Structure 1
Amino acid sequence: MGSPTPFVTRLLFNPGPELKKSAEISYASGLPLLSDKVQFPSFFRTTYNVNYECIAIVQLVKYFNWTWVGVLCSDNDLGRSGAQLITREIEKNGGCIAFQEALPIISAMESVYRITGVIKNSRAKVIILCCTMENLISLMEQISVSNITDKVWVGTSGWSITSDFPREIRENLTTLNGSLGIAPQTGKIPGLKEFLYSIHPSRFPDDPYMKTFWETAFHCIWPGNDAVNNTSPALLKEDIVWCTGEERPDSIDPNIYDVYNFKYTYKVHKAVFAVAHALHQMKNCVPGKGPFKNGSCADIYNHRPWQLLHYIKRVDFYNTAGQQIYFDENGDIPIYVDILNWQMFPNGTNQYVHIGSFDARSPKGQELNIWQHKILWKGGNTHVPISVCSDPCPKGYRRAAIQGQKICCFDCLPCSEGEILNPNDDSECLKCPEDKWPDSRKEECLPKLIQFLSYEETLGSALACISVLFCLLTFSVFCLFIIKRNTPIVKANNRDLSYLLLISLMFGFMCSLAFIGRPNRIMCMIRQVMFAVIFSLCVSTILAKTITVVMIFSATNPDSKLKKLVVLRIPIYIVPVCTMVQIILCIVWLTTDAPFPEFNMAAEIGIIVIECNEGSRVLFACVLGYMGLLASISLFVAFMARKLPDTFNETKFITFSMLVFASVWVTFIPAYLSTKGKQTVAVEIFAILSSSAGCLFCIFSPKCYIILLHPEMNNRQYITGRNARN
């Protein structure tokens, strides 16, 4: 929209009776009550509702994370209502009010001393001032005397960082250093500065205030001043300065004659232009397209007040400073204020630095704009002061309310094991899902580590290498026995059973490899069955060898009843029968309740252990019990036959091997039950390797010793000679 026409300008400055009765546009009244359109339907203003300042203050407090603040207000309706609004909004954002005090309208030192004590003893580092400068001066003097310098003062435009604050107070109140305040937005009025610099009494001879201003501004007296003319010459000072008219307004100190910062003038300027634009719209109305009944327009010479009100409600233009001017539904203009920082220096100088703004016209959540790098706090510090009742809880700790205290005062309690801090509520901990575990800071649930005994880790690879080495060693013994198969030492105590025992031991060593690696359904079913069958074959072979020795020596005794059983070759049937019993048990186990892989979440903290569930524990116990039974029978028979006469009586070594076997597996039971995770599997592998190695060394190392190191002893004459001597 263009500028108002000259006709509108003349009408504006020479209003008729109808215009005088139209809408009111205030340039200074910020009372919240005036926003009530029921009571004041025709009231508008180019200043803002002071409640909006409170919203800006709350946003500022929230921006700096100040949750524990004090509030000082004037002891009047405006101050108390502002303090209540600030309190409500801060608490809505999760903050707390440490104290709220009302400053008396008439200075009362008793109240000043009391409030000073409250401020000094409070842990709140931020004090919000919702009061006027007049109410604040006495308190600030006492604050300075009490040397309270650790507070940050945040004030509304009623007192804050402006040149209105008395200079003598301002220069001494170093306690205000680093404070923040709200200042109304200023704007440039084109030509106003030039006009103010051009004024002169000669240009306005009829203005009664012009010469008074001139005398005040330049500290001089006009020669025609009546007060001076009526004074006795004896009373006139000798150093009186007479005004010459040559004085220049642009030489006046800007603190006295500020031609850049006329906040009320600028608001008046906006109010006049708002009415001008409303009249301009009214004048440009096209009959038939007007906003009133049947498209009619208002007569600009004889319009009704409500018709002008209609246009004022809808003004929307950019003024000469480039600011958009419009009224909201309450007749207010959206708040736009500057955020200032009072910076004082050791040499006594100070400056007010523009460090941000609050613009209600911005998108929600983006109204506040702060340039934090420009702020200087107490002592020139650039770090934001902290104002909290309780220090923030460390990571992984939740806030626990203290009974009888505000929510901002709390204790910090650690989250329980397996819990993280609720990201949306720091007073609560959340339990992680079963397959996840908190990170070290207890901020996030991370997938648990998957654990099983693998070939990649040291323990798994070491056990695998030992298994292979023992298997190769057993294979070497087997090859040695094949090569020396016709020697007496190999043929003694049934050569075929020795071969079968060595083969079963080789498979025993190799079956431990099935326990290493990630468990799956097939491997869980195979590994225990393989172990049970192979060890049953091994132990039954040892039992057959033991019975063979007993039967051979018994056959030499004419009175022995076992002599008749030798021809039946009983040992040949022991191995398949005993092994078949174990196979049947394993088949029943697999068909009824077979082992299966499972994820054990509780075995170790923060780890998922993949392990094999043995299915039916009863059948698993039967399988192990059956092996124990075979081993016990072998141990008993070998022990009973250990003293049979012979140069090389193998039952002595079998007895010792069965003792080792039994010792390993008896020790295995408590160790197996007391370990968790992959250590359980490692214990079982160790038991398999130890028991197999015990049988290998105890039974075959004496024979290998003779074959390799004393071949002269490996002959029938030596063996029978020894028998004769015995």
Structure 2
Amino acid sequence: MAYAINKINRDLAFLPNTTLGFVIYDTCLSSRKAIEGILWMMTGRESSIPNYQSENPSTLAAVIGESSSTVSISIARLLGLHRYPQVSYFSTSPLLNNKDQYPSFFRTIPSDDIQARGLAQLVLHFGWTWVGLLANEDDYGLLGSQIVKKELLKAGVCVAFHESIPIAPSSTKVNAIVETVVNSHVNVIIAFCTAPYLIFVVRALNGRNITGKVWIASEGWSSTSRFSPMEFAKLMGDTIGFTVHDRTIPGFKDFLLKVHPSDSNNDIFVKRFWEQVFGCQWPVLKSNLTTIINGLTEDSTQCTGHEKLEQFKDKYQDEPDLRICYVIYNAVSAVIHALKNMLSCVPGHGPFTHDTCANLSNFRPWQLLHYMKHVQFRSTNGEEVSFDSNGRPPARYDIINWQRGLDGAIRLIKVGIFDTKAPNGQQLYVNSSALLWTKQDRKVPPSFCSESCLPGFRKVAQMGPHVCCFDCIQCSEGEMSEELDSSNCWPCPIDQWPNDGRSKCVAKTIEFLSFQEPLGVTLTVAVLLCSSITVIILWVFTKYQDTPIVKANNRALSYLLLGLLVVSFLSSLLFVGEPQSMTCLIRQPTFGIIFVFCISCVLAKTIMVVIAFNATMPGSSMRNCLGPQIPLVTVSGCTSLQVIICATWILLCPPFTEKNMKLKTGTIILQCNECSETAFWFMLAYMGLLACVSFLVAYVARKLPDSFNEAKWITFSMLVFLSVWLSFIPGYLSTQGKYMVAMEVFGIVSSSAGLLTFIFVPKCYILLLRPNLNTREYLLGKGRASAKNDMSS
């Protein structure tokens, strides 16, 4: 302050014919003494007389101070009543933003509400979600910490504890705070404090050998030298925090180096300053009080005045507490520029009533206050200084990191800035490559209540007040989460399914009875083999078509039945492969019609056996029925009814392809929807009814006297046919997907194979291996004895 005022006084052009002076009053951090001092300054009298107006009010232009927010609030109410400008360089309480209560208050340091937002953004920048909070029990700490806590909670960060450090030292309270810190397992602690109060807690924690904590410092203690000794290096080595924006004051360090007690006899602070720098005592100041303040003993060396400040030049270069000098310099400069603007007023164009100007030698406090509100200038290093409507300057902080050097001492390294002038989202900048933590690496220490939930899991809050403490539960079947710490799981699209880790959606497996899979290949081979055998049997029958065994029981029906069996075997291939619209439409009707056609042929053959036996009896009238009319009517009539059933089914409710996504987890089953289950089972019921009739007729005719009674083999074939389809029903209903289709293919193949085996294989045996039995005499029973003799020989 002295440097700024002396500099202006030496500049005769800045405030011509005007000399500035200053009076320093020590409040001793007491609101009562501060108010006494303000009354003394305003009245110009030794005794404090409220409402007394000095004869020369312009003697007091403005008040610079106080540093304490609590004291500033007390004197700001009084100064505001008289409209005296007050500029504080260290009072940061947001309460002072209220212009209704404190109309004449200004400051050159940002308020705590801005700093609190910045500290919260710093926590979010490093991804910390579990922090502790310490604060002074005063306006600075309580109000600032509440704002920090509010900002943190709004951003989803949990505050594990919020402890207040008493203003009056209390070992009980300090010990309780230490126990809270130790038991909380919090790795990050935000200390919105000032150094004189925080030091008690720090010393107690240091005694407990606490390490691994990251301290986030407010500007109240971030650049103090109290915690720099090596004894706190392990505890405080990871400190990162906000500090006053560092700007140099041109010529100020040279001014300090020229300070000497002999040149400042009237300055009581110079000799105290000298004692602290050189660790000596002036005889005139030697007292118990001085000894306590300076930490000296009675045996300390005496100051001579011949000590050289130049040897301490490097100390001044690195001294962090000099940061506050810049905001003090700006506080004085703001008042000086307001006086200059008032002096520059042109009569008749002034801002007051009748366009008058204020008289610099005799102005009222409210007149200077007007110019203070509109002051705007650039400091000596080019930075713009102004006040907003709340009396605050543009907010800018340096972010510093305490780093331990090779010698074990802590050094403050600038690693970033927080600038409210920057666009939203860019106000905070941290140079991660410049950060160094206690472990001497660049990895950010973690601080969370619970481990992060990996993709595929969701958070479930634990019982308690903190939402940051949670358990991780795997997503339910059919749901997934693809982000860390997801609060919810989401279902996949209908055609997708979560992977094994349930961290992303993948396409569902498509399932159908394919020609490429083992089951499909097996069934296809069986179909082709049976079809080939049927074709071979048909060839054998055509080759021996004029033999008695082929002519017996209607040769045409045998050819028709063999052809139908070939088609029946091949029709089962419609069930294999990817379902298509056409295959779904025709496969069940094709199967139903062909099988009824086959059974009708079998029934016709059985009827013809009965008719043929009866026709051989003397005087039988059934000889007329041995023509082709009976088989034709039987086959066409029975088959036509099945054709009507299937045609009605297709016309009213045709089968179609569908993707069944509910039947099997994680699988899309491509299948044919029969549309009408009633029509399907009605078709099967008619086929079963016809098979039962054929079985009964064949069973009745099985013992007819004949060397080769075909009814007996038809009975066996129908028995196999019915057994297959009766077992098909529960098997079909108990399977799903491709196995249901495979079950139906197996039923078609096995039942067709039963018909082929029992009706035609015995005849092929005679045709190929026992041609001697293929005679008319044998069929009529006349050659039976000779055949037996041949077999025995």
After TM superposition, the score normalised by the length of structure 1 is 0.84
Select 1:370's aligned residue among 430, 448, 452: 430
Separation in structure 2 between the aligned mates of residue 227 and residue 311 of structure 1, nearest angstrom: 43
Which amino acid counterpart does residue 87 of structure 1 have in structure 2? K
Number of the residue aligned with 1:388: 448
**Aligned twin of 1:231:** none
CA distance in 1, matches of 2:423, 2:435: 25
What amino acid maps onto 1:571 in structure 2?
Answer: P
1:581 to 641, 652, 659: 641
Q: 2:139 matched to 1:77?
A: yes
Q: CA deviation at 1:603?
A: 0.7
| Equivalent residue, structure 1, for 2:66 | none
SS in 2 for 1:641: helix
The CA deviation string for residues 565-608 of structure 1, in whole angstroms up to 9 with x for no partner, is 43574222211111101001112222333323333232111233
- Change in Cα spacing, 1:149 to 1:259, as seen in structure 2 (3 Å) is closer
Mapping 1:309-708, distance limit 5 Å: 313=373, 319-321=379-381, 323-344=383-404, 348-380=408-440, 382-421=442-481, 426-432=486-492, 434-443=494-503, 448-455=508-515, 457-460=517-520, 462-558=522-618, 565-567=625-627, 569-708=629-768
What is residue 225 of structure 2 aligned with on the other side?
164
**SS of residue matched to 1:252:** helix
8 Å CA contact 2:224, 2:320 repeated in 1: no
Which residue of 96, 103, 107 corresponds with 2:158?
96
Q: 2:237 aligns with which of 177, 182, 193?
A: 177
Q: For residues 690 and 262 of structure 1, what CA distance do their matches in structure 2 show?
A: 100
Cα distance 1:718–1:294, how it changes in 2: closer, same or farther (>3 A)? farther
Distance 1:652 1:405, change over 3 A: farther
State the match for 1:134 in structure 2: 196
Q: What is the CA distance between 1:218 and its match in structure 2?
A: 4.8
2:272 is equivalent to residue 187 of structure 1? no
How high is the sequence identity, in percent, across the aligned residues? 41
Is the contact between residue 87 and residue 108 of structure 2 (CA under 8 Å) also seen in structure 1? yes
Shift of 1:167: 4.9
CA contact (8 A) 2:602 2:694 kept: yes
| Ranges in structure 1 where 5+ consecutive residues have no aligned partner | 229-235
Distance between the aligned counterparts of 1:437 and 1:238, measured in 2? 82
Aligned to 2:67: none
- 1:151 equivalent to 2:213? Answer yes
1:437/1:606 contact within 8 Å kept: yes
Q: Counterparts of 1:207-218 in structure 2 under 5 Å?
A: 213=273, 217-218=277-278
Unaligned runs of 5+ in 2: 1-7, 22-57, 63-82, 287-297, 789-793
* Aligned equivalent of 2:71: none
Further displaced range: 464-473 or 303-312? 303-312
Equivalent position of 2:48 in the other structure: none
Note closer, same or farther for the CA distance 1:723–1:327 as it changes in structure 2 (3 Å cut): farther
Distance in 1 between residues matched to 2:320 and 2:177, nearest whole Å: 38
Specify the code of the residue in structure 1 equivalent to 2:103. Answer: P
Report how far residue 84 of structure 1 moved. 2.0
Give the whole-Å Cα distance in 1 for the aligned partners of 2:385 and 2:723.
Answer: 97
Q: Distance in 1 between matches of 2:574 and 2:516?
A: 15
The Cα of 1:611 is off from its aligned counterpart by 2.5
Distance 1:140 1:19, change over 3 A: closer
Aligned amino acid, residue 354 of structure 1: K
CA distance in 1, matches of 2:644, 2:339: 108
Q: Which string of whole-angstrom CA distances, capped at 9 and with x for unpartnered residues, describes residues 327-374 of structure 1?
A: 333222243223333333686333333333322222223322233344
Out of 632-641 and 454-463, give the one that drifted further.
Answer: 454-463
**Match of 1:642, SS?**
helix
Give 1:650 shift. 3.2
Q: Give the 3-state SS of the residue equivalent to 1:639 in structure 2.
A: helix
Pair 1:260–1:79, CA change in 2 (3 A): closer
2-side partners of 1:680 and 1:497: how far apart? Answer: 33
Q: Are 1:112 and 2:112 matched, yes or no?
A: no
CA RMSD in angstroms comes to: 4.1
Contact 1:35 1:330 in 2 (8 A): yes
What does the per-residue CA deviation read over 1:306-344, in whole Å, with 9 as the maximum and x for residues that have no partner?
776666555666645454544333222243223333333
After superposition, the C-alpha distances for 1:488-538 in whole angstroms (9 at most, x for unaligned) are 443333221122112212222222232234445443322211111111112
- Which string of whole-angstrom CA distances, capped at 9 and with x for unpartnered residues, describes residues 693-726 of structure 1? 3323333333444445555655556655775439
Query: Partner of 2:38 in structure 1?
Result: none
Tell me the distance in 2 between the aligned counterparts of 1:283 and 1:490. Answer: 138
Taking a change above 3 Å as real, the CA distance of residues 248 and 433 of structure 1, as seen in their structure-2 partners, is closer
3-state SS of the aligned residue for 2:408? coil
Which residue number in structure 1 is paired with residue 52 of structure 2?
A: none
Instruction: Report how far residue 17 of structure 1 moved.
Output: 6.5
- Contact kept, 8 Å, 1:415 with 1:429, in 2: the verdict is yes
> Is the contact between residue 422 and residue 428 of structure 1 (CA under 8 Å) also seen in structure 2?
no
**2:653 partner amino acid:** D
Aligned in 2, Cα 1:310/1:445: closer, same or farther, shift over 3 Å? farther
Rounded to whole Å, the distance in 2 between the matches of 1:335 and 1:182 is: 12
Distance 1:308 1:241 in 2: 44
How far off its partner does 1:177 sit?
2.7
C-alpha distance in 2 between matches for 1:473 and 1:403: 74
CA contact (8 A) 2:346 2:357 kept: no
Report the Cα distance in structure 1 between the residues aligned to 2:413 and 2:118, rounded to whole angstroms.
Answer: 18
Asked if the contact 1:646/1:722 (under 8 Å) is kept, the reply is no
Quote how far apart the aligned CAs of 1:375 are: 3.5
Paired letter, 2:538: F
Relative distance call for 1:71 and 1:499 in structure 2 (3 A) is same
CA, structure 1 residues 528+198, in 2 after alignment: closer, same or farther (shift >3 Å)?
same
What's the secondary structure of 2:246's corresponding residue? Answer: coil
The CA distance in 2 between the partners of 1:281 and 1:559, in whole Å, is 149
* CA spacing shift, 1:134–1:196, aligned 2, 3 Å: closer
User: Distance between the aligned counterparts of 2:653 and 2:408, measured in 1?
Assistant: 90
1:424-454 deviations in Å (ceiling 9; x for gaps): 9944444556555444444555664444334
Distance 1:465 1:320 in 2: 97
Deviation at 1:399, TM superposition (A): 3.1
Match of 1:34 among 90, 96, 100: 96
Q: Does structure 2 retain, via aligned residues, the 8 Å contact 1:645–1:723?
A: no
CA deviations 1:137-168 (Å, max 9, x no partner) are 222222122222243322212223x3421555
CA contact (8 A) 1:279 1:300 kept: no
Q: 1:258, CA displacement in angstroms?
A: 4.0
Does the C-alpha gap of structure 1 residues 567 and 700 become closer, same or farther in structure 2, counting only changes over 3 Å?
closer
Counterpart pick for 2:129 among 41, 60, 67: 67
After TM superposition, the score normalised by the length of structure 2 is: 0.78
Do the aligned partners of 1:156 and 1:183 also contact (CA within 8 Å) in 2? yes
Asked if the contact 1:171–1:348 (Cα under 8 Å) also holds between the matched residues in 2, the reply is no
For 2:105 and 2:366, the matched residues in 1 are separated by 12
Aligned to 2:290: none
Change beyond 3 A, Cα 1:298–1:503: farther
- Decide whether the 8 Å contact of 2:475 with 2:481 is kept in 1: yes
- CA–CA distance in structure 2, aligned partners of residues 528 and 489 of structure 1: 35
